[in-house]
Structure 1
Amino acid sequence: MIGRRTLGVALAGFTALAALSTVAHAADDWRKQVPVFRVGILGGENEADRLKNYACFKEHMESRLGVPVELYPASDYAGVMQGLISKNLEYASLGSSGYAGISIQEPEAVEPIVTTEQVDGSLGYYSVLYVRADSSYQSVEDLKGKTLAFADPNSTSGYLVPSYELKQQGYTADKFFGKTGFAGGHEQGVVAVLNKQYDAGVTWTSGVGDEAKGYSRGNLRKMVDKGALDMKDIRIIWKSNRITNGPVVVRKDVPQELKDLVRGVLVSLPLEDRPCAEAVAGGKLNGFQPIGHDFYKTIIEMRRELQKARRG
C-alpha cells in the first residue's frame, strides 16, 4: 500500500509535471499564433540607418522570443500605423500622436507597454523650431510670411504639438507662414532647411544634455552622431512644452505571454546592451519604463481637436 506521504509526493510530482506540460503547451500555442514577430520602424531617417540601429534589437528579440523577427522600415508614420491596425505588424515604437491616431481610429488595435525614461528621469521631450544659424531669424515673429517644414502629418513633435501650441500663441500655421509642407521625416526636414528649401523646420529633442552634441537624445543627436549635422549650423528659436515620450506598442490581440516577454527584453536591454538600447532609443536614456493608455490622454484629445479643426 502506498503511504499518504508517498502518495502526496507522487501527486505533487504529477501536478508539477502537468504544470510544466501546460507551460510548454502555452508556449507552443503562442508561437503557433505568432510564428514571426514583425517590427515596424517609423520613417524619419534613411532606411539603411534605421535597419542598422535595429539590427542588435532584432538579435536580442529572436534570442528571447524563440521566433524569427522581421524588420519593416516604413517610408512614413502612416505605414507603420496601418500595419498595426491591419495586423501586418506585431510591434512598433510610436510617437504619442501616432498612438493617439490609432487609438481614435481603432481603440482595440494596440497596447502601450513601455516608454523611454530620459537621462534626467523625465518621461518627456520637446518639439523645437529651428532655422539656419546664418539667417536673420531670431524669433517666431520674424518668420511671418516665411516657409516652415513639418516632419510628418502623424508626428507629435514634427506636426501635432507645434501646430497646436503655435496656434495658441497666435501663430496659426496656414495663416502666419507663407507656406508650410511636410519634408517626409525629421532628418529630411533639417536637410531641407540647411539646403534653403525651407526657412525653418520643427523636430524633436530631449532638451537635456550638451546642446553642441544635439542634446542627449533625439533627431538632432542622431544627426550629429553620424556626422550629418553640426549644431553650429542651426539656431533653435522656439521650444514647446514638454511632450509625453511615445510608447512602444504591441498589438492588443497577441498572447499575454508574448507581451510580457517583449516588455522584459526592453526593460533589461539598457543593462544587458546599453549601446543597443541607445541605438533604438535615438540617444542616451536611463531606461524603459512600463506605461499605460492613460499617460497619453492629453495628446489624444489634442489630436481629436486637430481633426475637428480640419473638418471644420
Structure 2
Amino acid sequence: MLKMTLSALIVGATALTSTVALADWREDVPVFRIGILGGENEADRLREHSCQKDYLENILGVPVELFPASDYAGVMQGLLAGQLEFAGLGSAGYAGIVLQDENAVEPLYTTQQVDGSLGYYSVMYVRSDSDITSLEEMEGHSLAFADPNSTSGYLVPNAELNEMGINPDAYFSQTGFGGGHEQAVISVLQGQYDAGVTWTSGVGDIAEGFSRGNLRSMVDKDLLDMDDIRIIWQSNLITNGPRVIRQDVPEELKSLVMGAMMRLQSVDRDCYDAINDGESMSYYPIDHDFYLPIINMRRQLAGVR
C-alpha cells in the first residue's frame, strides 16, 4: 500500500512539474509570431502559410500569428526588436541580423533541394524577345535587383560581378530594386528594366521554373511563362537560407518548433511544399557556421560602403 502511495505521489509530482514547465514558457510567449519575407502578393503569402499556422497552433497550444512584411528589412527588424519569434530568412538576411546583434537569433534548419544539395543559384534573366543573350551584352543596359537584403537578389550577384571586374554602377546604364523577387520579374516583363536577378534551385524542369524558387512560384501562380524569359547568367552555389528563432525564447519552445517542423514533410506534404516555393526533399538541421561565408561577404560589402 505504501509503495502504491509513493508511486502515485511521484507520478503526480511529475505531472505537476510538466504542467508548470508548460505554463512557464506559455506565459513568457503567449503568442508565437512568424515573420514572412516580402517579395510576392501579401494575400498569397498568408494563404500559403495558413497551414503552418494551424499546424503549429495545434502543437504549441498557443495562438500563432503571421506577419508578412513588405520587404526583407521588415522581418529582420521584427526579430531584432523582439516583435517576432520565428521567421524564414535568406542567408544575407541572417548575416545582416548577425552583424547587428550576434545574439538575436539562431538558425534551426534549412531546405534540402530535390537533388540533395543545400544550395541554390542567383540567375540573371531578360525577356525572351530581347537581343541580349549574355552578361557581356548587358553593358549599358538596366538591371533590377530584388531587395538590398536579398542574398540572390543583390548580395551574391553584386559580389560576383565585382569579382569579375564589373562595377554594377558603371557597367549598367541603371540599377534599382524591384521591391522583391516577384515584382522585379514583373518589372522586366513590362519593360521597365532590361534584366533582373532572382533565385532558383537550378534543378528540375526549366519549363516549370525548375523544382523550387521564385520562378517556380510565379509559374505555379500563372504569373510567368518560362518561354517569356531567357536566363543569361548563373552564380556559384549559394547556401539555402535558414529558418531562425530568437535566442531568448525558452529552450522547450525551440525544441517543440524544431521537432514539429522537421516532421512537416511527413505529416502534411502539401503544406511543406506550399511554404517552400515548390518541390524540395526535406528540411536539414544547420547551425551558425553554415553561413560564415555569406556573413563574411556581407561584412565586406558593409566595409566597402
The TM-score bracket by the shorter chain reads over 0.9
Deviation for aligned residue 1:20:
2.1
Partner in structure 2 of residue 132 of structure 1: 127
Q: 1:56 aligns with which of 48, 51, 55?
A: 51
Partner in structure 1 of residue 182 of structure 2: 187
Q: 2:284 aligns with which of 281, 284, 289?
A: 289
Write the distance in 2 (CA, Å) between the matches of 1:171 and 1:230. 30
Q: 1:269 aligns with which of 264, 282, 286?
A: 264
Are 1:141 and 2:136 an aligned pair? yes
Deviation for aligned residue 1:12:
4.3
Instruction: State the Cα deviation string for residues 272-292 of structure 1 (Å, max 9, x = none).
Output: 111110110111011111111
Q: 1:36 aligns with which of 3, 8, 31?
A: 31
Write the distance in 2 (CA, Å) between the matches of 1:295 and 1:22. 37
| Unmatched 5+ stretches in structure 2 | none
Q: 1:81 aligns with which of 73, 76, 79?
A: 76
Amino acid at match of 2:285: P
Deviation for aligned residue 1:210:
0.3
Amino acid at match of 2:161: L
Instruction: State the Cα deviation string for residues 84-123 of structure 1 (Å, max 9, x = none).
Output: 0000000100000000000110111111111101111111
Partner in structure 2 of residue 206 of structure 1: 201
SS, match of residue 46 in structure 2: helix
Partner in structure 1 of residue 67 of structure 2: 72
Instruction: State the Cα deviation string for residues 26-51 of structure 1 (Å, max 9, x = none).
Output: 11100000000111110010101101
Larger radius of gyration: 1
Write the distance in 1 (CA, Å) between the matches of 2:111 and 2:25. 27
Identity %: 61
Are 1:25 and 2:24 an aligned pair? no
Instruction: State the Cα deviation string for residues 39-77 of structure 1 (Å, max 9, x = none).
Output: 111001010110111011111011111110111100000
Partner in structure 2 of residue 257 of structure 1: 252
Deviation for aligned residue 1:13:
3.9
Amino acid at match of 1:86: A
Amino acid at match of 1:88: Q
Partner in structure 2 of residue 240 of structure 1: 235
Question: For this pair of structures, how many residues does the alignment match?
Answer: 305
Write the distance in 1 (CA, Å) between the matches of 2:129 and 2:14. 69
Write the distance in 2 (CA, Å) between the matches of 1:173 and 1:24. 58
Partner in structure 2 of residue 222 of structure 1: 217
Write the distance in 2 (CA, Å) between the matches of 1:110 and 1:178. 39
